Structure 1
Amino acid sequence: MTKPPAECMSKEDVRVEIDRIDKALLALLAERHGYVTRMAEIKTDAHEAYDPARIAAIIERQRKRAEELDLDEDQAELIWRTLIDWNVNYEKGIIAARKRHG
């Protein structure tokens, strides 16, 4: 059973909840990764993996969501830029490999 932060009375209580959230985050990242892989399969050119306008829109949307959740917008942006950079490189690699192997 989950506990809200205010009901955590020990470091162990907090760690249990953080571990629970980390597990859920990892599952969501794995699910997202499936869609990123599918996008790379759909795209035909490695240059499509990097879309500055789309990236800017995503970053702006996440900054607004972070603010609504009372989170640090700069930290949210850093996390999303890291995720996007990884995804762009991953997509480029899949597209390039597919082109090499026909």
Structure 2
Amino acid sequence: MSEVKQPADCVRKADIRTAIDALDEELLQIFARRQLYVRRMAEIKQHPDEAFDHERIETMVSAIRLRAEELGLEGDQAEQVWRTLIDWNVAFEKRTIAARLEVQD
């Protein structure tokens, strides 16, 4: 793989694509690690209703949005990404917990 350049040092589209591809790989690895915690949370929670915590979600999204803006990222973009991630995680936890309870019955 080619060397990843800083944005200001990119003079060709290929330079930028290489950097974005490298960052995408890092993001995938981070999301995969995050998913391990979501899986563990689903093991710990006792009922599917525990998967959705409105107050926790809103607090988390607000903090993510603020931090994103501090970093120069559009708050709307960060919020949309995290809400999508959270929605998927809630659904995953609900399915996982419900399946576990079904097996226990």
Q: Into which bin does the TM-score normalised by the smaller protein fall?
A: over 0.9
Which residue among 65, 68, 71 is the counterpart of 2:70? 68
Which segments of 5 or more consecutive residues in structure 1 lack a partner in the other structure?
Answer: none
- Residue equivalent to 2:5: 3
User: What are the superposed Cα offsets for residues 54-102 of structure 1, whole Å, 9 maximum, x if unpaired?
Assistant: 0001100101111110111011100000000000000000000000001
- Residue equivalent to 2:29: 27
TM-score, normalized by length of structure 2? 0.95
Query: How high is the sequence identity, in percent, across the aligned residues?
Result: 52
Count of paired positions: 102
Q: CA deviation at 1:2?
A: 2.6
Which segments of 5 or more consecutive residues in structure 2 lack a partner in the other structure?
Answer: none
Cα distance between partner residues in 1 of 2:15 and 2:77: 25
Which residue among 86, 98, 101 is the counterpart of 2:100? 98
Q: Runs of 4+ in structure 1 displaced over 6 angstroms? A: none
TM-score, normalized by length of structure 1? 0.98
1:45 and 2:47 correspond: yes
